[in-house]
Amino acid sequence: MTVSRRKFLKGSAAALALGMVGSPACALAAAGQEESVDRWVKGVCRYCGTGCGVLVGVRGDRAVAVKGDPDNHNAGLLCLKGAMLIPVIYAEDRITEPMIRRGGKGSPLDKASWDEALDFAAGAFRKAMDAGGPDAVAYYGSGQALTEESYLANKIWKAGFRTNNVDGNPRLCMASAVAGYLTTFGKDEPMGTYNDMDAATCFFIIGSNTSEAHPVLFRRIAQRKESSPDVKIIVADPRRTNTSRIADLHLSFVAGTDLALLNGMAHVIIREELDNPRFYSRYVNFVTNDGKPCAFEDYKAFLAEYTPEKVQEITGVPAADVIRAAKLFAESSSALSLWCMGINQRTRGVWANNLIHNLHLLTGQIGRPGASPLSLTGQPNACGGVRDTGSLAHLLPAGRMVANEKHRAEMEEFWGVPKGTIQPKMGHHTVALFEAMAKGDVKAVFIHCTNPAHTLPDLNALTKGLETAFVAQTECFMDAETLKYADVVFPAAFWCETEGVYGCTERRYALTEQAIKPMGNCRPTVRILMDFAEKAGVDPRLFPYKNAADIWEEWRTLSKGSPYDFYGMTRARLKKESGIKWPCPTEDHPGTNLRYVRGEDPLVPVNHPDRLFFYGRPDGKANIFLRPYQPPFEPADKDYPFILTTGRVIDHWHTATMTGKVPELQKAYPSAFVEINPVDAQKLGISNGDRVVLETRRDRMTFPARITDTCMPGLVFCPFFDKNKLVNRLFHHAVDNASKEPEYKICATRVYKQA
Amino acid sequence: MAIAGFLVHAEAGQSERLEAELAEIPGISTFGVHRECYIAAVAEAPGNSMEDLLHRVHGMDGVLTVYVTSMTVEDELVV
Amino acid sequence: MRIDVKRTIRVLAVLLLGVGAFFLYLDRAFPKVRCEGAHLSVPEKYADCVSCHAKSTARATQDWKESKHGAMLVKCVVCHGEPDGKGSISFSANPDPATICARCHDPAMRRMAAKFGGSADCSICHPRHQNPLHSDAYQHKTPSGKTSF
């Protein structure tokens, strides 16, 4: 009998299907078996300012797993970056030996011994100071450095080398928020915490893509919305990002016009009589833009021109939406504002911060659970490490100022150095520092835990300083752009290879304990700093510390009695708990949720006559500033008709030297692209994937296009993580007058398809 | 008359039940569950209704997806 | 009907050989076109699971997009790992809840176990990919909402 044709066909169809089961395409690895863990070590995530608690699982001498700490604020949750931290530790390009560029700039980096490297760097520093005095050297630190590292470096440079050229990358991200809090409330740092997210009934999220920059906080906000239909969310952003998925109202304003929007909301609040005279007559001073006291009537007159219609004209936001946003904010029982780089990285960043605070002070939406202006911090330790320790060119620890004689004398006494040791003159802020390096005024710089050759604005101009000055650098990964300019590289212990404290957005200081030994020949940075300083001529009695814990002890003692008091956070207590929120003056104090509030903040006397006390200001009151709308430094014009903005994507952290080592994250975003609105794309004849040129007054770069309606027409967006597409080359380096923070969010560009 | 070989990728724990359900459908013969989640099968149906049949399989409870591995259409084979 | 055994055996042997050769060929051929090939990304292009899986496993993808995991950008790789096996998370089409879900949800799982007794399979009450933003998380849900091809 012949096999029938039909039987043959069916047989071969079956065989084919069965064959496919055997193909590697359908092969399955065994379900992920997490390697068994000997012990879990408590710590904080290495990435963003959310400051999630983590537990690092150690087996033998290896870190093998990461999971969320159930006792920290994140209740065990992590975002995809934090969950995949382990491969970063064991990246193939970890720097594990010191390196020296013996032949000068442009020659290759050679391995060296620790002594060689330290001597080489110390020698260069001595030479620089002999030629140009103490101000010929500098320290450029980081909001990712441990608190103990920043405190130590600040002390060494300001009291040891005696220069105030101490600055750091928080200048590039949080400086405007710092100045905003300082000018409005007298002291830095938010008064609320993440707990406010569980109580707020209106969220006002502006200049923040929370879903990608602070994912775990985004989840908390979404969860709050789910819990009650009364909870409303306003998202104000020229881009309609994933964050807007949970928004009840999305306000797309032309980039840079948010000051008008904020004043417009204040205008409506007063017009609709939703302001709170009982609150502001007791707690608020009204101050003109040039610092003179005035009255509420002056503020009202100042706001008269910011009608909803005028705001619509300036911003593009429909007048009805301006009114709706103002009413949602003011009529809610508790309004919580959240903002990040969209507000801070601006030439009018401080003003924008002030205007957000104004809304809270005008309505009394402050100092209650859920009612607070909460600035989101970008880096894991900009707050605890740099802001609070005063490791910036104009600051001293715990809110003191270099320019204040009394403050300098206090620090000189505490640090045991002769009176007059600390210079009265402010040092160079970041942009000025790199300009001074290019000029030759600063001849040697120590760069710690940051990648300025990738993250400075106007890279073509500002990297010149790296080409001329002597650069000593701590770095963990070989693909950091700044290494191209380093003369000496010190391999620092990475994250959980050493112990130290991180202080996150919500004033929470939490300890990362050492989980594993430093890799190869890496050393903890505190050790590197002390050895280097001694060789460079600083009296070693300035840093009599065996380890980071000793440094913490000194800093803790210094904070006692100051507005940043965390004396109650002993090392032992930090080991036991999963972070504590300051002020925390005694060991039995649980930490503070509502700062400035009687009965909540231990620094407010229990018998204070008013419920709130802004003790950072001499008269105990906060300031409402009459800040006008002013356009950005380089708005779009007829020659450069588009606005270019930059920002984050969830999968990558900053310059991707860490996240780029995780295959899943690298594959999700292997390289940068430019987001273009479909309307613009059509006019320019650009399709998805086309190569598009972005040309600014500084430089020209090509990106593949991604057509999406995330950006509003007239706006294009590039992520900044890609070292092969250094988008900061396209930007200018104009800074905010007060905070000295550059405007990474707005520059003018041409957009056209590559020929 | 069309003859199609396909794999049904089933959700965990559903494959046994699905195989039985598939075998009940006229025109479908099954060839076992493999690697705990793939059901190999052959469907035989008039050319103009093969697509609907596969859609129907795809929509069944517990089906993640259907991988069609081969499709032959023979006009001479009249059922 | 007379059955010619010899001839039948010969035909079947040829058939078997042919089929065997054919799926051996399939096994080796066109790696970029088969689904395993699609996971190798062209560096310049934006590549993640969703763009292909929106077509190949449409329902799961749509469910995920509308779910809490989708809104929170808990992307495919977080639970499933990388299909080429070169990722930091072992690849699995059906991740084990005890290891994968527990990485983020351990405290909640312990609370569940203490209150109601644990389940080895979270998806009995929390259907895979389906945790809609507007759902009552504690309500028993059955899989629903099939999307089309």
Query: What is the arithmetic mean of pLDDT over A15-24?
Result: 64
Angle between helices A147-155 and A525-535 in degrees, nearest 10: 10
Query: What is the arithmetic mean of pLDDT over A152-156?
Result: 98
Look at residue B26 and tell me whether its pLDDT is greater than 60: yes
Asked if A45 and C46 count as a contact pair (C-beta separation under 8 A), the reply is: no
Buried (b) or exposed (e) across A706-727, using 16+ Cβ within 10 A? bbbebbbebbbbbbbbbbebbb
How far is residue A46's CA from residue A379's CA, in Å, rounded to a whole number? 9
**pLDDT value for C146:** 32
Whether chain A has a CB inside 8 Å of the CB on C9: the answer is: no
Query: What is the arithmetic mean of pLDDT over C28-39?
Result: 42
Three-class secondary structure of residue C145 per DSSP: coil
How far is residue C117's CA from residue C112's CA, in Å, rounded to a whole number? 7
**pLDDT value for A31:** 27
End position of a domain, from candidates A27, A54, A89 = A89
Tens-place pLDDT, residues C98-109: 778 877 788 888
* A575 is a domain residue: no
Examine the domain organization and report whether A365 and A430 are in the same domain. no
Q: Which amino acid is located at A352 in the chain?
A: A
Residue B45, exposed/middle/buried by CB under 10 A (0-12, 13-18, 19+)?
A: buried
Lowest mean pLDDT among A248-252, A343-347, B19-23, C18-22: C18-22
- Those residues with Cβ within 8 angstroms of residue A699's Cβ, 6 or more apart along the chain or in another chain: A460, A729, A730
Question: What chain B residue is nearest to A4 in terms of C-alpha separation?
Answer: B77
* C31 is a domain residue: no
What one-character-per-residue DSSP string does A304-327 give?
TT--HHHHHHHH---HHHHHHHHH
Asked if A221 and A233 count as a contact pair (C-beta separation under 8 A), the reply is: yes
* C70 is a domain residue: yes
How far is residue C146's CA from residue C63's CA, in Å, rounded to a whole number? 9
Lowest mean pLDDT among A155-169, A176-190, C128-142: C128-142
pLDDT tier at A644 (50, 70, 90 boundaries)? very high
How far is residue A415's CA from residue A158's CA, in Å, rounded to a whole number? 11
Residue A29, exposed/middle/buried by CB under 10 A (0-12, 13-18, 19+)?
A: middle
Percent of chain A with pLDDT over 90: 90
Which of B11, B55, B64 shows the shortest C-beta gap to C149?
B55
pLDDT tier at B77 (50, 70, 90 boundaries)? low
* B12 is a domain residue: yes
* C104 is a domain residue: yes
* B17 is a domain residue: yes
How many contacts, defined by CB atoms under 8 Å, are there between B and C? 21
How far is residue C41's CA from residue A423's CA, in Å, rounded to a whole number? 55
Asked if A731 and A745 count as a contact pair (C-beta separation under 8 A), the reply is: no
Asked if C57 and B37 come within 8 Å (Cβ–Cβ), the reply is no
Identify the bridge partners of residue A674 per DSSP, sorted by sequence position: A705
**pLDDT value for A393:** 97
pLDDT tier at C23 (50, 70, 90 boundaries)? low
Asked if B40 and A18 come within 8 Å (Cβ–Cβ), the reply is yes
Asked if A14 and B29 come within 8 Å (Cβ–Cβ), the reply is yes
Count other Cβ atoms within 10 Å, centred on residue C38: 18
Look at residue A57 and tell me whether its pLDDT is greater than 50: yes
- Going from the C-alpha of A427 to that of each of A79, A178, A705, the distances in angstroms are 38, 17, 42
Examine the domain organization and report whether A267 and A181 are in the same domain. yes
Taking alpha carbons only, the member of A598, A577, A601 closest to residue A587 is A577
In which domain, by residue range, is A53 found?
39-89
- Domain total of chain C: 1
pTM, rounded to two decimals: 0.84
Asked if A742 and A733 count as a contact pair (C-beta separation under 8 A), the reply is: yes
A-chain residues near B77 (CB < 8 A): 5-6
- Going from the C-alpha of A747 to that of each of A434, A462, A634, the distances in angstroms are 21, 17, 5
Task: Compute the C-alpha angle A661/A662/A664, nearest 5°.
Answer: 140
Most C CBs within 10 Å: which of B65, B66, B72, as the mutation test of the C interface? B65
Query: What is the arithmetic mean of pLDDT over A515-544?
Result: 97
Taking alpha carbons only, the member of B69, B26, B76, B18 closest to residue B47 is B76
What tokens appear for A673 in the block? Answer: 């692209």
For all residues of chain C together, what is the average pLDDT?
69
Lowest mean pLDDT among A237-251, A674-688, C108-122: C108-122
- Provide the total of helices (H) and of strands (E) in chain A, helices listed first: 25, 29
Asked if A177 and A185 count as a contact pair (C-beta separation under 8 A), the reply is: no
**pLDDT value for A20:** 65
**pLDDT value for A178:** 96
- Domain total of chain A: 4
Outline where DSSP puts E strands in B1-79.
2-10, 28-34, 38-45, 63-73
**Alpha helices, H only, chain B:** 15-24, 50-58
Tens-place pLDDT, residues C86-100: 777 777 778 888 778
DSSP collapsed to 3 states, A41-99: EEEECCCCCCCCEEEEEEECCEEEEEEECCCCCCCCCCCHHHHCCHHHHCCCCECCCCE
Taking alpha carbons only, the member of A182, A315, A311 closest to residue A255 is A315
- Which residue reads 């998380």 in tokens? C137
Whether chain B has a CB inside 8 Å of the CB on A6: the answer is: yes
Asked if A732 and A698 count as a contact pair (C-beta separation under 8 A), the reply is: yes
Asked if A26 and B7 come within 8 Å (Cβ–Cβ), the reply is yes
Given phi > 0 = left and psi -120 to 50 = alpha, else beta, which region is B38? Answer: beta
Most B CBs within 10 Å: which of A7, A21, A26, as the mutation test of the B interface? A21
What tokens appear for A517 in the block? Answer: 């030994």
- Which residue reads 């203490």 in tokens? C114
Asked if A429 and A739 count as a contact pair (C-beta separation under 8 A), the reply is: no
Asked if B38 and A14 come within 8 Å (Cβ–Cβ), the reply is no
- Domain total of chain B: 1
In which domain, by residue range, is C85 found?
49-124
Query: What is the arithmetic mean of pLDDT over A373-399?
Result: 96
Asked if A746 and A633 count as a contact pair (C-beta separation under 8 A), the reply is: yes
* CATH code of the domain containing A698: 2.40.40.20
* CATH code of the domain containing B64: 3.30.70.920
pLDDT tier at A372 (50, 70, 90 boundaries)? very high
Asked if A668 and C26 come within 8 Å (Cβ–Cβ), the reply is no
Asked if A203 and A244 count as a contact pair (C-beta separation under 8 A), the reply is: no
Query: What is the arithmetic mean of pLDDT over A692-721?
Result: 96
Three-class secondary structure of residue A576 per DSSP: helix
**pLDDT value for A345:** 97
Look at residue A25 and tell me whether its pLDDT is greater than 60: no
Examine the domain organization and report whether A521 and A497 are in the same domain. yes
Q: Is the link from the previous residue into A583 a cis peptide, with omega within 30 of 0?
A: yes
For all residues of chain A together, what is the average pLDDT?
94
pLDDT tier at A287 (50, 70, 90 boundaries)? very high
Asked if C68 and A222 come within 8 Å (Cβ–Cβ), the reply is yes
Residues 16-45 of B with CB under 8 A from C: 37
**pLDDT value for C122:** 78
How far is residue A282's CA from residue A287's CA, in Å, rounded to a whole number? 15
Q: Which amino acid is located at A310 in the chain?
A: K
Rounding to the nearest 10 degrees, give the CA dihedral for residues A476, A477, A482, A484. Answer: 120
Looking from the CA of A160 toward its CB, the CA atoms found within 13 Å total: 27
* ipTM attached to this prediction: 0.79
Q: How far is CA A641 from the centre of its chain?
A: 30
* CATH code of the domain containing A483: 3.40.50.740
Three-class secondary structure of residue C108 per DSSP: helix
Q: Which residue among the candidates A45, A48, A81, A84 is catalytic per the annotation?
A: A81
Tens-place pLDDT, residues A424-434: 999 999 999 99
In which domain, by residue range, is B50 found?
2-73
Count other Cβ atoms within 10 Å, centred on residue A468: 15
Look at residue A298 and tell me whether its pLDDT is greater than 50: yes
**pLDDT value for C141:** 35
What tokens appear for A46 in the block? Answer: 């290495």
CA distance A620 to chain C (A): 41
* A420 is a domain residue: yes
- Going from the C-alpha of A494 to that of each of A91, A481, A658, A734, C138, the distances in angstroms are 11, 18, 11, 33, 41
Look at residue C3 and tell me whether its pLDDT is greater than 50: yes
Examine the domain organization and report whether A661 and A697 are in the same domain. yes
Taking alpha carbons only, the member of A448, A442, A439, A564 closest to residue A509 is A564
A-chain residues near C107 (CB < 8 A): 70, 75-76
* CATH code of the domain containing A82: 2.20.25.90
Chain C: list its partners (3+ Cβ pairs within 8 Å): A, B
What tokens appear for A287 in the block? Answer: 């101050």
**pLDDT value for A463:** 97
Whether chain B has a CB inside 8 Å of the CB on A3: the answer is: no
Tens-place pLDDT, residues A670-692: 899 999 999 999 999 999 889 99
Examine the domain organization and report whether A673 and A737 are in the same domain. yes
Lowest mean pLDDT among A212-226, A469-483, A658-672, C105-119: C105-119
Taking alpha carbons only, the member of A397, A313, A387 closest to residue A143 is A387
Q: For A161, which DSSP code? A: I
Asked if C27 and A24 come within 8 Å (Cβ–Cβ), the reply is yes
Distance between start and end Cα atoms, chain C:
46
Q: Which amino acid is located at A426 in the chain?
A: M
How far is residue B61's CA from residue B59's CA, in Å, rounded to a whole number? 7
**pLDDT value for A85:** 94
* C92 is a domain residue: yes
Examine the domain organization and report whether A370 and A449 are in the same domain. no
How far is residue A339's CA from residue A353's CA, in Å, rounded to a whole number? 9
Q: What sign results for the dihedral spanned by CA atoms A751, A236, A248, A205?
A: positive
pLDDT tier at C48 (50, 70, 90 boundaries)? low
- Going from the C-alpha of A723 to that of each of A10, A345, A652, A655, the distances in angstroms are 54, 21, 12, 7
What tokens appear for A270 in the block? Answer: 């007063």
What one-character-per-residue DSSP string does A264-285 give?
HHHHHHHHTT-S-HHHHHHHEE
Examine the domain organization and report whether A49 and A197 are in the same domain. no
Look at residue A335 and tell me whether its pLDDT is greater than 80: yes
Question: What chain C residue is nearest to B62 in terms of C-alpha separation?
Answer: C143
Lowest mean pLDDT among A13-17, A142-146, A237-241: A13-17
Query: Is A504 a catalytic site residue?
Result: no
**pLDDT value for A411:** 98
How far is residue C120's CA from residue A169's CA, in Å, rounded to a whole number? 47
